[in-house]
Every structure is written in C-alpha cells, then in structure tokens.
Amino acid sequence: MMLGDPPTDREPTRYVKFAWRDLSNLPPIGKLDYAPKRPQAFRIFQEGEFEGRHTHVLPAIKRREVLPALGRCVYCRRQQDACGRRLNLTSEHVIPEFLGAGLELAASSCFDCQRTTSDFESSIAASMFGPVRRALVLKGKGGILERTNFPLDIGREISRREFIPLRHYPTILVMPNLYPASSYSRRSPHSDDLFNFQVFNVNAEPKYLRQYDLEGFSSQSIDLVRFCQMIAKIAVVYGTHYFGFDTFNPTVVDFVRTDFPPGNPATGHFANVGCLWRRKRLATESLHEIEVGEMRWQGKTMAAVRVQLFASYGMPSYYVTIGE
C-alpha cells in the first residue's frame, strides 16, 4: 500500500497525537523540529503549482481590522431565509479570535453557518491550542484562563493525566505536516494519513519534567477533521472577500458547513486542504499569514488560499483550493 491510499481494513484516522517517549529527543527551547523525521519521503506525489497574488500578514500584536461586508452569508451565500426574510448576518473572524488575530469580515455569516463554525473552532481551541494560548498569552473572548494546575497527557496509546503547575507546564506547538490535497495532486480524496508533525518547543525543559518524575509526554490530540475545517474556513472567508462570489464555483465550503460529531470516523478532509512540498517560504515575523492566488494542476486553474498559522514559529503553510 502506498502512502496516501484510502484506508481499507481499518477505521479512518481522525485523531492524532505525538508522544515523546524520551525527553532527550525534545528540540531545545525556542527551536523548530520535525517528528517523526522522514527525510526521504518528500517526492511521493506530483503536486500543483501555486501562484500567489496578494498576502495579508497579521502581526504578533493583536490589531482589529475589519474587511467590508459582503451582503450575503460567506458560507451558504444566502441573503434571505426560506420565507424570504432578510437574514441577520453577523461579523465573522477570519482567523479564530483565540489565535490572537483581530481580522474580521463585517456582517457575513448567518446564524446556521456560524453555529457550525463556532462548534469546530471552540473544540480546536480547547483541545489543540489550550497550552499554547496560555504560554503565548493569546487572549480570546474569555480572556486568559486562570487556573494553576493543568493536566498533561503522559499516556502513550491511551490518555493518562498528571497535573503540572503552569510555570513548569511543557508547551510545544504542534501542527500536522500534510501531503498535497487530492484536488492538486494524484492523492486519493479518501486518503487520511498525514506526513509528520512540525513542532516548536515553547518552554518544555527536561530538567523540570524529571522533577515531576516524568520520562515522556504527549502533544495535545489533534482532530484532523475539525482542524482541516478550521483551515478551510479561513481560506473560504478571506478568499471570498478577495475574489468575490461570482468569480468561482465553491468546492470546499460544503465541507466547512458540515457537522462532524466528535468520535465519528470521517474521510475527505484532505480533499482540498494540504501542504505543498516544493514551494519554499521565507522566514517571516508575522504571527499568521494568508495568501490568495491560483493553483494550477493538470490544466485546471483553481482559486486557492495559503493559510499559515504561527508563521513566525515556522509552522506549515496549508494550501486550500476553494473553487474552480
């Protein structure tokens, strides 16, 4: 079986985490690393070519910036409900507020669509980015969490929790490195595996962990389906602002608007969301970056958006095709 083939005799992978079984494998504080290390697997797929047109950078200091209203829901594109009443549209954060970003699209989300997007965003905020938000002091709607001890997962296959005081809590920013999405590579749309994790050690110090008799620990669990929904949502909102409604037929927005109850296996989340291996990015000072452009693959040109969260920490760029 080649990497990237659809799952056959097993449940599709939805939740992933990375375990450090040996503290000497941690990257030094303030350094970026990859885990597991797979140096030679980089040319498995032929991939599309992205040509950027415009980049929006978000600084590390949160700054409120409001993009003009679209007059319709950015997701379902409705202006009216089934009875012909004008929909009440609320403003939409392009990048979730809990990631320290103040970029908004005015009056652009209906109630139904907002319920779905805020569902997956709040679950990602709590499960994947909780420690990072505390360590980097990113303020969301609820301000900074105020507790003194936090659970650390020290289990390998199953979760086992140990409570660690905040000042010694090991925080590692972990994001998945993906294969190219199937819309711009030969990858099957039902494949579910990821390449590896990109990790940045914010403050995990082996000497403190040994003080608590810990020999290893796990990263936060990542729900790949909801993570891809969050990335695709950012791409749809900013891409629609930039391109307008009439220049492309949406391809990823139905995925963004679908409810995926926790625990259910799902595939298809890598159909439009993935990484490019050949396109190199320069180091940047911005906290987050969004770049709109075109993706070319097998004679097709698609509207595409690059989303790079925690760009200044060297985290991966995700390329999302939003329409044709």
Contact set with Zn ion (CB under 5 A)? 73, 75-76, 110, 113
Q: Tell whether omega for the bond before 12 is within 30 degrees of 0, i.e. cis.
A: no
Tokens (6 digits) for 95 = 């990048």
- Cβ proximity to Zn ion, 62 vs 257, nearer residue: 257
- Smallest gap from Cβ 119 to Zn ion, in A, equals 14
- Cβ proximity to Zn ion, 58 vs 110, nearer residue: 110
- Cβ proximity to Zn ion, 114 vs 312, nearer residue: 114
- Smallest gap from Cβ 122 to Zn ion, in A, equals 18
> Which of 183, 197, 207 has the alpha carbon at shortest distance from 301?
183
- Smallest gap from Cβ 66 to Zn ion, in A, equals 19
- Smallest gap from Cβ 87 to Zn ion, in A, equals 7
> Which of 296, 300, 299, 298 has the alpha carbon at shortest distance from 319?
296
Tokens (6 digits) for 311 = 């760009």
Radius of gyration of the chain (CA): 20
- Cβ proximity to Zn ion, 111 vs 163, nearer residue: 111
**What's the sign of the alpha-carbon dihedral 82, 239, 227, 201?**
negative
* Cα three-residue angle 23-135-274, rounded to 5 degrees: 75
C-alpha to C-alpha distance for 199 and 33, rounded to whole angstroms: 5
- Cβ proximity to Zn ion, 73 vs 295, nearer residue: 73
- Cβ proximity to Zn ion, 110 vs 230, nearer residue: 110
C-alpha to C-alpha distance for 316 and 72, rounded to whole angstroms: 31
- Smallest gap from Cβ 73 to Zn ion, in A, equals 3
- Smallest gap from Cβ 111 to Zn ion, in A, equals 8
- Cβ proximity to Zn ion, 69 vs 76, nearer residue: 76
- Smallest gap from Cβ 155 to Zn ion, in A, equals 40
**Cβ-defined contacts of 135-138 (< 8 Å, 24+):** 135/169, 135/171, 135/202, 135/203, 136/100, 136/202, 138/98, 138/99, 138/100
- Smallest gap from Cβ 116 to Zn ion, in A, equals 9
C-alpha to C-alpha distance for 206 and 22, rounded to whole angstroms: 10
319 and 184 Cβ atoms separated by less than 8 Å: yes
- Cβ proximity to Zn ion, 117 vs 191, nearer residue: 117
CA 207 remoteness from chain centre: 31
Helices (H), 98-245: 111-127, 130-135, 206-211, 224-243
